[in-house]
Structure 1
Amino acid sequence: MKTKKTWLIYLMLALATSTWGSAFIAGKVAIESFEPATVAFFRFLGAALLLFPLMWYLERDIPKPTKKDWFLFALLGLTGIALYNIFFFIASKHAPVIKSSLFIASNPVLIIILSAIFLKEKISRNQVIGLILALLGVAFIITNGHLEVFLTMGFEAIDAVLLGAVVCWALYSVIGRVVLKKYSSIVSTTYAVGFGTILLLPFALVETSFTDLADSTLSAWVAIGHMSVFVTVVSFIMYYYGIQQIGAAKASIFINFMPISAVVLASLILGEALTLPHIVGACFVLSGVTISTYKKLPKTKKEKIEKKLA
């Protein structure tokens, strides 16, 4: 029964991180009408309007937050909601998709390192092997099999923005692991989104005018609505629940599903070609995730006795 539950958690994490891949496409649409911080603000404002009633309805005995808890919730809102999304949407507007995908694919590496340092989570050999395979798969996907592209990439100003996004998400995942020891995934997500929305408001007020709102397209609002409901509310809760159950380091491996879904959705929605290197890369990612999460089943009492007698 425990093994079955574990695989359900893995499936849930794969679904959550795959849904994040759609944010690349939705972000490209929304950014045509609004500036980066404004897109992020409307996304999380919509999510907050859904999350708070949902939390109050589902959670009956929410622990009363201490000053330390409020500080941690504020850190979650600052790192994973406000700063990460400002960086992400700036990159959506100014950075090539290949470079953005490469930086985001490095997220699990930093999360595993920070989890080992601050949370004392053990890094297994399978996790390391799986991570290498997954990163190789991601590299195949985002370069369409032309790995030499990485050699021609020089450092640019936008790289600092992308690096900021990676650091912010890693901190969000690790801090979240601490918060999840006391609070459920929906409570943690809701308070983080609440703080993040408040922090994004000043940026949105500065860069947005009534003219921008009047000139915005319906497709931009549909894209923001999709990011609010599916990319944020549903997927964030599932991701945090996964962290709560199996740890930040192991859950982070599933982030590699994001570029796969981004490529597949781009093929289906935008008509971009789905090539053989994409399929090969996806196989590497799936193999890496499988190896990282593989765990031998515990031996039964009878098997242990037989081994001892032998």
Structure 2
Amino acid sequence: MLISSIFWAGAFIGGKVAVVEFPPVSLTFLRFFIASILIFITMVKFEKKNWRLKKEDLPVMIFLGLVGMVGYHILFFMALKYTTAINASMIAAINPLITTLLSAIFLNEVLNIKRVGAVLIALSGVLLTITKGDLSIIMSLSFNRGDVLMIFAVSCWAIYSIVSRRVMNRYSPLILTTYSFVLCALFTLPFAFMEKPLEFLPRTTYKGWLGVVYMAIFPSFIGYLVQQTSIKKLGASKTAIFINLVPAFSMILSALILKEEITLFTIFSGSLIVVGVYLTSRLKIIVKEKDLAEGINKGMVK
């Protein structure tokens, strides 16, 4: 999981490099076209005959592919055109936070005072990240468009996380992810042609292609498989802890490869986000364990 966290952190650097040479939709298509081939072969091998979708689940899967994959990644690459890889990675770290808020609103999940406090800690870190401590930015609403796009991107992924629960009991995570990848590649293909690939492809360099191939193989394919193995071996809560390391690794890689500046202010705001997200996730686990214990005591859970 430590290696996977580094791979995921590298996706922000790979995206920052590739988005200079590829339009967002074409970049999304290429990344998931390559990743789809690899993960589809893996799914067929390990899921045997149980990997085919049921017709009644197709609308949900189409929605997941459109929002979670197409929506998130196009907005992600658009965001990287205007903001730093460091900022994008720190904002991306609030995905569990937004998922928690949306779950509380639409699924009536418990959101007690402690979890509200944790949410506010993380949100303060995000606010400091996108304003750099300049309150006049809030008053004038002159936010960096890349930071704003990244917030919308993370919101798409949070919606994906919530809606996917409707079919999680019928399909394995590998099947859900595979079809999300495949549908993303299919949906973006016609729009990728609209970006006139014959004009920009001859000008692309090995650095741009390296970024595409890296994102397809390491964060998307290998990172996912390692995460699923870790959930089985370590459990979901311990696995989630490693994901909180992604912003830290992104800062280091961005400074080393992209020469982006790391300031004490950046470290402080990033720390607030990581601490807030960790506390939110941890308190959620505690609430679930408490509810389970109460259910066992009352004889409702066996």
TM-score (norm 1): 0.74
Counterpart pick for 1:196 among 177, 184, 188 = 184
Q: Find the counterpart in structure 2 of residue 230 from structure 1.
A: 218
- Asked whether the 8 Å contact 2:86–2:254 carries over to 1, the reply is no
Is 1:218 equivalent to 2:206 in the alignment?
yes
Measured after TM superposition, the shift of residue 57 of structure 1 is 1.3
* Equivalent position SS for 2:22: coil
Q: Structure 1: which 5+ runs fail to align? A: 1-11, 299-310
Is 1:148 equivalent to 2:132 in the alignment?
no
After superposing the two structures, state which structure 1 stretch, 41-50 or 91-100, moved more: 91-100
Q: Structure 2: which 5+ runs fail to align? A: 291-302
Is 1:270 equivalent to 2:258 in the alignment?
yes
Pairwise mapping of residues 92-241 of structure 1 onto structure 2 (< 5 A)?
92-95=80-83, 104=92, 107-140=95-128, 146-148=133-135, 150-151=137-138, 152-154=140-142, 161-162=149-150, 164-236=152-224
Change (3 A) 1:101 1:287: closer
Letter in 1 for 2:253: L
* Equivalent position SS for 1:82: helix
Cα distance in 2, alignment partners of residues 254 and 67 from structure 1: 36
Cα distance in 2, alignment partners of residues 187 and 41 from structure 1: 19
Cα distance in 1, alignment partners of residues 223 and 64 from structure 2: 16
Cα distance in 1, alignment partners of residues 269 and 146 from structure 2: 26
Equivalent residue pairs, number: 283
Cα distance in 2, alignment partners of residues 159 and 141 from structure 1: 9
Residue by residue over 1:211-254, the C-alpha shift from the partner in whole angstroms, topping out at 9 and shown as x without a partner, is 4222211011110111111222233456678999759xx99998
Is 1:287 equivalent to 2:275 in the alignment?
yes
Measured after TM superposition, the shift of residue 140 of structure 1 is 4.8
* Equivalent position SS for 1:21: helix
After superposing the two structures, state which structure 1 stretch, 104-113 or 55-64, moved more: 104-113
Change (3 A) 1:117 1:16: farther
TM-score (norm 2): 0.76
Q: Find the counterpart in structure 1 of residue 62 from structure 2.
A: 74
Cα distance in 2, alignment partners of residues 158 and 114 from structure 1: 23
Letter in 2 for 1:178: R
Measured after TM superposition, the shift of residue 182 of structure 1 is 1.7
Letter in 2 for 1:65: L
Is 1:27 equivalent to 2:4 in the alignment?
no
- Asked whether the 8 Å contact 1:177–1:243 carries over to 2, the reply is no
Q: Find the counterpart in structure 1 of residue 297 from structure 2.
A: none
- Asked whether the 8 Å contact 1:30–1:39 carries over to 2, the reply is yes
Measured after TM superposition, the shift of residue 73 of structure 1 is 1.4
Change (3 A) 1:63 1:223: closer
Residue by residue over 1:31-66, the C-alpha shift from the partner in whole angstroms, topping out at 9 and shown as x without a partner, is 222111011100000100110001111223526422
Letter in 2 for 1:148: L
Residue by residue over 1:145-168, the C-alpha shift from the partner in whole angstroms, topping out at 9 and shown as x without a partner, is x35364354268778755542432
- Asked whether the 8 Å contact 2:24–2:78 carries over to 1, the reply is yes
Counterpart pick for 1:90 among 78, 90, 93 = 78
Measured after TM superposition, the shift of residue 107 of structure 1 is 3.9
Measured after TM superposition, the shift of residue 210 of structure 1 is 2.4
- Asked whether the 8 Å contact 2:130–2:147 carries over to 1, the reply is no
> Percent of counterpart pairs with the same letter?
33
Counterpart pick for 2:47 among 59, 73, 82 = 59
* Equivalent position SS for 1:123: coil
> Aligned-residue CA RMSD in angstroms?
3.7
